[in-house]
Structure 1
Amino acid sequence: MENNISKDDKNKLITFLKKTNSFTQSKNVISFEKKWSKWLGVKYSVFVNSGSSANLLTMSALKILEGSGDVLVPTLTWISDIASVIQNGFKPIFIDINPKNLSMSEDEIKKKITKNTKAVFLSHIQGFNGLSNNLLKFLKSKKIHLIEDVCESHGAKFINKKLGTFGLMSNFSFYYAHHLSTIEGGMICTNSKKIYEILKMLRSHGMVRESGNKKYENEIINKNKDLSPKFIFMYPAYNVRNNELQAIIGINQLKRLDKNNKIRSKNLNIFLNNLNSKKYRTNYNTIGNSNYAFPLVLNKKSFKNRDLLEFKMKKFGIEFRRGNAGGGNQIRQPYIKNLFKDIKISDFPQVDHIHHFGYYIGNYPSLTKKKILKVCEFLNKIEFYE
């Protein structure tokens, strides 16, 4: 990412710092939450200190609502999606990916749902949509909650609705390299007032007064007359609040998000249309995308070619990340191997291909067409081994 905190963002911060001495969560956080909700198309949003905290609170709220059970999770995602499931006592059920959108395989989801399934925690990877009408109808018929991780896909759409509006809850990350950045930060979104109030309590130590529901607060106070009314802790929760400074940046960045997303999608089309499809995968479902980073995946399984590709990219000065989202196949990571010893990697061939032979390359609004074409030309000229 380049220039993701603009001069205008910095000037807004300077102006704010000169006018106030109050920096912790207050009116600007509330304003950012409301503006984000309106932009996304949901009723409620809760601003937290990271996308990982958004994951954690989402799963904590699900546990309060549904109790223990299984949650279907992606094999290609950031660690905090799966960690939040484990930390809340759910059993993660791993799902292989669809290579055309890098999200969870719809067929695998349908096969692995059981009477113990509480939710499907689906990640929209690199700005691609991971939903279909068939999947949404299936989950509804089974009364299974959908939780959306949209951390890499701000503004991406399915049937002209933004991703993050289809599930019971959705998560966003505002880390430095993402579409919208508050440097660090995240958002949880929902259309449920009850969940919204639970999330606000979970964000701030589990305190009842954080719910914003005076009727509920008074009921709990009357049931706990031996406690100070301002310090009643309903849940063993967290302190993952964000602050006014980062809200100021978020509000300002939101003004240019749509424009930047259009550039990102245009950049992706240039990249895929000029990449050699005989060497690299180019057949992605790009409808409604809001690209986070260019997918670069070798067609053939060859460690010799992979090593050659990495050597050439390093020499040419192309920054890359192997494994795409989260470093590739999460079930190969030590934390999974140590906890779940009966998982067979051979059962997940699609994500394992990405793990070994897939990369992403940075995409950002100030990236020029000339530079993208130069990268494609270089990649296409690499002479791989047979």
Structure 2
Amino acid sequence: MAKSLLLPRAGGTLYEYTPGKAGSFSVPAKPFTGRIAFSAAHVVCDPFADADPLHHSQIDWNSTLAYRHHLWSLGLAVAEAMDTAQRGMGLDWNRSKELIRASIAEARSVGGKIACGAGTDHLFPGPSVTIADVEAAYEEQVGFIEGEGGQVILMASRALAACAKGPEDYERVYGRILGQVKQPVILHWLGDMFDPALAGYWGCKNDLDEAMDVCLRVIRANADKVDGIKISLLDAGKEIKMRRLLPEGVKMYTGDDFNYPELIKGDEQGYSHALLGIFDAIAPAAAQALHALDAGDLVSYESIMEPTVALSRHIFQKPTYAYKTGIVFMAYLNGHQPHFRMIGGAEGSRSIVHLAQLFVLADKAGLLADPELAAERMKPVLALAGIRP
């Protein structure tokens, strides 16, 4: 049994906490079939690289690809080179291309499902950037992914948000790109809580209903080229409303890391598939819950998913874009990587109080595979904050 730790509270006090028993998730070897579930996967930093960590962090390729195999082994699909992989927040397009190429090859070797993010992040937003520049940037990234044999997730564009004059510019850009793709893509509507540079996306400032109307016009005009749409707005009501308005055959992929259990379970009028960053951190629980859903066992589904929500809401608390720190911390605690270093030094984006509470919530949700190991890994992190037994 793991020994107790001294953990910090807000305000500077310490308390003693003893982790419980290891989580025990039993995931059948057969795939679940009722839902498609993508985990947006994180990247592992090479801690020994002799490079400026703020601008030139290197990827530990073995550990990064091993984690994708872990996700595939549980029946989850991998959403590659997304914001969970620090895309545009430490991971540039050149390294994203390396990651996409390597992950598609690994997926092919095991029959794993994968889709990859195409954006415009090699085009720096600025006053000289035009709509034509945005279209060319999207075309380059889409062409690369499809050239590697991958499915595209068409990510939201900071450059488009900066230069678009109104909804018609979004309809022009998306119409052009969707008209060229070789296979249906997943659209990605990321709210400004995840990326402040995307405020007012779809050309509608501060009005999500108007923005939804624009997005739906794009989808309806190109329905045969849209597999589905992932929305990350942290608003279950908006997602359900949009889900009910999608053309037949176009899927809703929830990106709501606050309300995912109810959205995936669905209602009498439909349900959402999943494309979630939190599934990186709760993969075994998510996989077992989705098998229970397949079997129609809603009691088990809810009993597995419900304890993960408090952890997810903690990891994705404001500022939401710092959630990646918690995702990597979970991988560190569970032994998937030997260190807690991140691309761009992002391990410093959350406080020691935040990380301590994450440890407790993960333990209570049964998501520490080996609580004794996790406790030992907490100790050096606590020591860096001056907390010693």
Q: Does the TM-score normalized on the shorter chain lie above 0.5?
A: no
Q: State TM-score, norm by structure 1.
A: 0.31
**Structure number with bigger Rg:** 1
